[in-house]
Each structure stands twice: as structure tokens, then as C-alpha cells.
Structure 1
Amino acid sequence: MKEISKAVSAKAIAAKKKLSSDFFKKGISLALFSGLTYGMYTAFLTMGMTKGVWGDWYGANTAGLSAFVVAYLLAALGNAINDTCSAVWAILYSLVKGKFGDFVRCINTAPGRIMILAALIGGPVAGTAYVIALQMAGSIVVPISALCPAIAAILGKILFKQKLDKRMAFGIAVCVFASFLIGSTSFTGTASAKTLIGFSIAIIAALAWGFEGCVAGYGTAMIDYEIGICIRQVTSGIANLFILVPVFSIMAGKVGLSVNLAMQAFTSGPAMIWFALSGLLSVITFMTWYAGNSMCGAGLGTACNGTYSFFGPLFCLLLLGVYGGMDGWSLPSVAWIGAVIMMFGILTISMNPLDLFKRKDDMGGAMDEAA
């Protein structure tokens, strides 16, 4: 009887370890997929801002718009439309899943308010800075914005006394080195002031997203990540469309300009098709990222999501450069190398890369022992 009991116990342990292994691998797959979809979102959003009325606004004569409006107001509007579309997709998803009531109830709770704060940081600030940087400097800014995990690690240490050991410090140093490597391709004799400004604004996006990561991590620990994402996207869409865009309009000296531009943008069919797709990809990105984090750990999940530093330029090249036939979306080899180094640095911050092989070996050994 003891031998039978041991055999059953061994099989149970083996089955449990297999489930844990499959769960962990699925989490990694989801987190990697979130990095892939974030790269696609970047390309689709940028494509939308070249179609329809946007082509006139960014055209040779800029449709009579001032340099400030073209550089900042239009970027804020593009981000606002994307986040508004994303909010619609998130609400539809909550209705299908039967969680819309939970979404409404969670808004005025402590974790709900934390998610609103995270959305205000990540939407109007980081999101708009990201789009401005893309319009100014192209896809070279994508790996720079991916510095956010390194920034989140530093801010977590400062604000919440979170762990920051030698391995994480090394990973941060690798990310900084990669960012300088990527940035060096812009600091040439032919680099324009516009490119350098876009590069700097991408750093602002990374700072804001790093801060958002610290805040949102606390909020999503207390509520369903699908509800948290819905709160984030709705808040970001509203704040961008009804606060940030009008503020830029006032700064441009034309109070009613934001309404006029928004109406033209929302009724521009050729562009809205791409914005609808970028909004959908934005929701998918956050959902798969948060789901991956819950299955393989926030550190590894964030590292896998950080692969958008490579996928962003890749999809911009394929969609805008190859498919769209637009110039300026190819990157020098040094930038691609820097993007890969950045991915390694992000992984090192989140975990010891050797643990991936140890985990696999441990799983295999345990399975052999159980058998």
C-alpha cells in the first residue's frame, strides 16, 4: 500500500509541476505577445496619422496650421483619438464579459482612484510625449521609450523602498548604454534639431511610463486587471480629448481650434480605420501584459513586454516603409543592435537570465524523478 501511495504521490507531484510549468510558459507567451502587439499599435497609430485629413495637416503646406499646432496639438489629438477608440473597445469587452457593473463600482474606490492616477500619468503625459517623439524623430524613439522598466526600478527603490540589487543596477546600466548607442545614430552632422527634440521627448515618455508602472502595479494588485485596464483606457481617453487637447489649443491662441480639428479627425474615414485598429491593439497589449504578469511574475512579464523596443521599429519599417512606401522608417544597424541590447538589459533588471535555464532544468529533473 505504501508503494502504491508513493507512486500516486509522485504522479500527483509530477502533474502539479507540469501544470505550473505550462502556466508559467503561457504567461511568458502572453507577455511576449503584448510586446508584439505594442509594436503593431505603434505602427498602426502612426499610419493613421498619415491618412485622410492628417495627410493635409502634415503636408507640405500644413493646411495653414502653425508650427506649434503641427508639433504638439496634432500629436495630442492623435493620442486622444487612439485612447478614445481604445476606451470604446475596453467598454465593449467589459460588457461581453459581464464586468461593466464591476467597472462602474470600482471607479470610486481606492484602487480605482489609483488606476485613474496611473492613467493620467501614462495617457496624457507619456502617451502624448510618445506620439510627439514618433512624429518628430521616427521609430528610433521606440527603444528609448522602452527605458521605462529601468526607470520604474529606480523609482520603486526611491518611492516604495523596493529591492534594487547589483544585478538590477547592471541591467539599468545596460539599458542606459543601449539608449546612448541608439541615440548616437541621431547625433550626426545631418541630424536635425527636430530629431534631437523628439529623442529628448521620448525620454519624458519613458519617465512617465516608469512612474505609471509603479502606481498601476499597486492598483492592479487589488482589482481585476481587466477592470483596471478599462478604468485606465476610459480615463486616458477622456483626459486626452477633453483636457489636454483643449489646453494645447489655448496655448496655440485659438480656443475653438481643438473642437474643429477633432471633428475633422473623427470624420476622416481613411484615418479612423487605422485608429480603430490601433485602439484595439492598445487594449490587447495591456490585457495580455497584465495577464502575463499574473502568470509568470511582474518582473519577467515586464521584460517580455519590453521587447516592443525591437518590434516597434520593425513594424514601422514593414507597415510604413515597405507597405506604405514612406521614407525615413529604416534604422541603421547600430540602432537595431542597441534595441536588442536594450531587451537584454530589461530582462536582466526583471530577473537573472540564467534562471530561465535553471527553471527548465529543475522542471525536467523533477519530472524525471517523479517518473
Structure 2
Amino acid sequence: MWADQLGDGRAHLIGTYMNRQGEKWELQLKGSGKTPYSRNGDGRAVLRSSVREFLCSEAMHYLGIPTSRAVSLVVSDDEVWRDQFYNGNIMKERGAVVLRAAKSWFRIGSLEILTHYGELDLLRTLLDFIIQEHFPSIDVKEPNRYVDFFSTVVFETAQLIALWMSVGFAHGVCNTDNFSLLSITIDYGPFGFMEAYNPDFVPNVSDDERRYKIGNQASIGMFNLDKLLQALNPLLDLGQKQLAAQILHQYPAHYYARFRKLFKAKLGLLGEKEGDDDLIEFLLHLMEKTEADFTMTFLQLSEITESQLQELNIPQQFWALKTISKHELFPTWVSKYILRLKR
């Protein structure tokens, strides 16, 4: 949820860059020292987390997932003290600064704060700026522009979270301060990639209640979009509020449509056939029960031959399939899968 404050405790926005394609990128330094919002923090970042952000944001980009980008990483000789696992064991680490870039760093929280404090003129000005700069398909003079803006964010957020799920990515801190209005992945903190398939996977060791577990990401997305709608409501008339509420309720359908499409592609399923959803859910159930590796199960399904799979003659090197094949219902799933591939 929104932290009731706007501003990053260890990031400085230093300007805008235009590349040779005419694209504008906002440049930000993370770990560059104290900001007005650092409170008791030092505003620094450590090498460990900086390398993680650099590598993951670039990996996400090349996986085709909308994301901020890492431009450079500079290592410092300064000592930074951190409690990595929040267990009271404070250790000395090397500091670092990441230069990162995004088309925009505006988040849902950027609008929430203005509504919260009743700054509606500023809210309207900021929204019009965001629409004009980043949503060219929306006419900034159109009376329904805020509804159109909301509709776009709802749809694109559903697409983004489905993409996260398709690669087993858990963000770790999915509050409204960390949800981009441009529906890109930002603020790489205690994220993680799921290994053994587990809907309860939580990469953030401080998330004791598992609020942001990977299996909750889709529902958290809707929760955050509802908060966005609450922030927009003062600028909407009754008819627009009703329309926006209907748009929000379309979010699950947008999400599951993209989720289904992505997982069908992972299984090599073409076209739309009855039973596809059940086939996907059946496999995920078997993976959960056997703790099969999420990424390698799908990879090895794409590499094994049909005859090997049908005969359950799984080579030793396909260790993830070996794991899931221990479940008594795996032969049943294989039969359904091969039958579907032939349809």
C-alpha cells in the first residue's frame, strides 16, 4: 500500500535523455546518498543489491517484459552497513551506485498523494502531463481522457503481471509506490525468480504475512488499480465513475487471457481448444505437489521427444521431468497433453 509519503530515500532523478530514436528516458541514480526522504537511512545502496538490479532489469528487458533499464554501475570504496536478512546481523558491505533509466518514474502513489491532500488542481495538471507525454493515443482535450487513461493502465498492468508469472518472477514489494503508471517493472528490491513451483513463494524475507507472494500478484494488481481509481475519482463525474468501475472489473479477464496465452505458448499449444485451461492447471498442480522446477520443467518439455514422453522414458538429464514424473497422475497428464498436441 501507499506509504503516505512521496519520494525515494536513496534515488535522485538527474534529468531526461533523448536517444537517437527520439525517445525520452528519465535518468535516475540509486544509492547516490541522502535525499529529503531518507529519514534515518544513509541513502546508499550496496554492491550486492545493485548487481542484482542491473542484471535482472536487463534480463527482463531481453525476456520481452516491460522494465526500467540499467545504464551503468559504479562501485565505491565506501563502507555501507546492512542487515541483509533482517535478523539483527549487521554486516559491512561495499557501496555502489546504479544509473537506471525509464520512460517515466511516475507511480500510482504519485497520484494518491495529491488526492489524499486535496490538491486536485495539481492532480489534474499532472495527469494531463502524463497523458500528453506517455499516452499519445489519448486526446488530452477529450472529456473522458481520465477514464481512457485508467482503461489503458488496467489493461497494461494485467499484461505485465501475466508476463511476470510466465517467467516465475516475484517482485517482492507490490505496493502502489512500486507500481508504474506506464505498467513497467520498476524498483527491483527483494525480488526473486521461483525455482521449485510454489504459489506461496516469497523472495522478501521481511514479508512475514506473505502478502506479496507470487500467487498473490494478480490480485494485488487489482487492489492497486482500485487505489488508482480512488485517486482519480474526484476528477470523474457519476457516469465516468460507473464506467471506470466496469473497466476495473474487466481486469481479471485481461489477466487470465494473457496468462492463458503465455502458458499455452510455453507448452507449444496452437489455437483455442476446449480443455486448455484444465491442462495448464493440471500441470501446475503436479509441479506444486512434486516441487518440480518451474523454468526447467517447461524447457525440458520442449526438448524431450514425443515418443520418450509418451513412453515415460525420460532421460536422466531431464531432471525436472524426472521429478514431476514421480507423481502418480503424471501419465494421465502426458496422455492428455499428447492428445492435445495432435488436435
Same fold (TM over 0.5): no
TM-score (norm 1): 0.24
Structure with bigger strand share is 2
Q: Which has the higher contact order (CA 8 A, sep 6+)?
A: 1
TM-score (norm 2): 0.25
